[in-house]
Structure 1
Amino acid sequence: MSLLAISEAADRLGVSTRQVQHLVARGELRQVARGVLDETSVERLAAVRGGSHKRAWSEATAWGAVAILSGADAEWMGESQRSRLKGRLRAMSAAVLVERARERADVTRYAAHSSTGQYLEAELVYAADVAGRLGLAQANNIDGYLAVGDVLGLVSRHGLIRDDEGRVTLRATAMDLDVVRDLSQRSVVLGALDLAESLDVRERRAGIDALDRVLEAFRG
């Protein structure tokens, strides 16, 4: 594990040390000891934010954007909210969408035994074969959504160990998982957003390119 002092993280993110502490409190950065952060968590946030410091959307709005771009109704939002969001999406780049939609779930990564994958997949909602549909080789990683209240039980049952470089990514959300499952199957939008948050250059590029195509079609 590589470590960074809070002051170093602030320099890398282009924010103040107070803002870094706020990001730690919100769970967007991982503090491993007093005044010391996991460098990987800083790199991931820097990749998602792309140098911008705009406030992320609320969870409900982020899922609304996924729904609208996937051709769903986003029924949890009011009509005027949906209309305003559609206008923003028409003027938005993929990179900005990734940054603004990052609060759709609380993302935590873990190390796991090699035999755990098949059991974890049965308990998670994930975007099936999006990587393959976007021309990427199938990775030996587990990446899926689950309800916020189910995280601790799943981690305990499967002996997961917190590790920001681990192969298991859990995305905890308060959104109805039936909605998440529907959106994951409707289009590549949700899976592309997940890929666009990766530190792997090819995965991130594939996710951004797919979202650019979706946004272009939405504007058209």
Structure 2
Amino acid sequence: MPITSSTTLLTQRETALRLGVSERRVTALRQAHEITALPVGAGGFLITASSVQRYERWAGKPGRPYSAAMAFAALYLLSGEPTPWIDAPHRYRLRQYLRTTDAEKLTRLCRRRARTLEFWCRDSLIGKAAARLRLSAATGPLAAKFQLTDTNALEGYATADDAEWVAAACRMKINVEPITVRLRVADWLPDGDGPMPLAVCAADLAESNDPRERRAGLETLEHLLEHFRRRI
């Protein structure tokens, strides 16, 4: 999609300098969806500063991130939801991990479940976009669960094909402020309808660069972890 941006985009070299790594390492981070890159020109990329800021919080921390299937399984288990896509041994290991981890570590290990793209969308088309997404974070009525103010901002999950359709059909502009839509684009999503489970919503907020959203997400994950430890 063409890029019209009013927010900060970084070149590969600028990203490498900011993170103190090689450009080859930046390429690896981009390919692993640790940072969000937007294609420009013939084979070029620009990297969103917001995704670099999020990555900086996790750089150098121990623990290999989960695959998307395992990340969703951990967050679904924490929410008390079924996880039919993983087998019993993996489910057992996740349960054992959830008994001992904390919210910060869980957020870090689950971060590769999807990549985040940010858009401006006309208010009149927000509803059309929402109808094709599994809503998450503090979107609409979900805000009350985190004691956050309900706004017209939209956040939700979609497959790559659905995300492309939504962006085109709703005439959204990528990385243009004010950001009103955050698409969590996943290569794989669990089956289901309606909003994402509470732990997924909380993990999305815990990844936010906004301090209030981040705190609300981490606090909710901690409460869910405490409840999980009591019920097993």
Instruction: Determine helix, strand or coil for the equivalent of 1:170.
Output: strand
Residues 131-171 of structure 1: per-residue CA shift (max 9 Å, x gap): 22221111221101123321222211111122176221111
Structure 2 counterpart of 1:189, which letter? A
Out of 33-42 and 17-26, give the one that drifted further: 33-42
Tell me the distance in 2 between the aligned counterparts of 1:13 and 1:54.
19
Assess, with a 3 A threshold, how the Cα gap between structure 1 residues 16 and 5 changes in structure 2: closer, same or farther: same
C-alpha distance in structure 1 between counterparts of 2:162 and 2:114, whole Å: 13
Residue 24 (structure 2) pairs with residue 24 (structure 1): no
Q: Report how far residue 53 of structure 1 moved.
A: 5.6
User: 1:114 matched to which residue of 2?
Assistant: 123
How does 1:118-133 map onto structure 2 within 5 Å?
Answer: 118-127=127-136, 129-133=141-145
1:107–1:164 distance in 2 versus 1, CA, 3 Å: farther
Deviation at 1:197, TM superposition (A): 1.4
Shift of 1:9: 2.9
* 2:36–2:117 Cα contact (<8 Å) kept: no
- Runs (5+) with no aligned partner, structure 2: 1-6
Question: Which secondary structure state, in structure 2, belongs to the residue aligned with residue 116 of structure 1?
Answer: helix
Ranges in structure 1 where 5+ consecutive residues have no aligned partner: none
The reply on whether 1:170 has 2:183 as its aligned counterpart is yes
Aligned length: 215
C-alpha contact 2:132 2:162 (8 A) present in aligned 1: no
Contact 2:78 2:228 in 1 (8 A): yes
- 1:82-161, aligned counterparts within 5 Å? 82-127=91-136, 129-161=141-173
C-alpha deviation, 1:3, in angstroms:
4.2
Cα-to-partner distance string for 1:27-70 (whole Å, 9 max, x where unaligned): 433257658533222113334x2652643211110111011101
CA distance 1:14–1:98, shift in 2 (3 Å): farther
Secondary structure of the corresponding residue to residue 115 of structure 1: helix
2:88 counterpart (66, 79, 89) = 79
Matches within 5 A, 1:10-21: 10=16, 12-13=18-19, 15-21=21-27
What's the C-alpha RMSD, in Å, of the aligned pairs? Answer: 2.5
TM-score under structure 2 length normalisation: 0.81
Q: C-alpha deviations, 1:83-110, integer Å up to 9, x for none?
A: 0111111121111111111122232111
Greater mean alpha carbon deviation, residues 115-124 or residues 200-209: 115-124
- DSSP 3-state at the match of 1:176: coil
Q: How far apart are residue 14 of structure 1 and its match? A: 5.6
SS of residue in 2 equivalent to 1:154: helix
- Alignment match, 1:203: 213
2:208 and 2:176 map into 1 onto residues whose CA distance is 12
Match of 1:189, SS?
Answer: helix
Q: Percent identity between the aligned chains?
A: 31
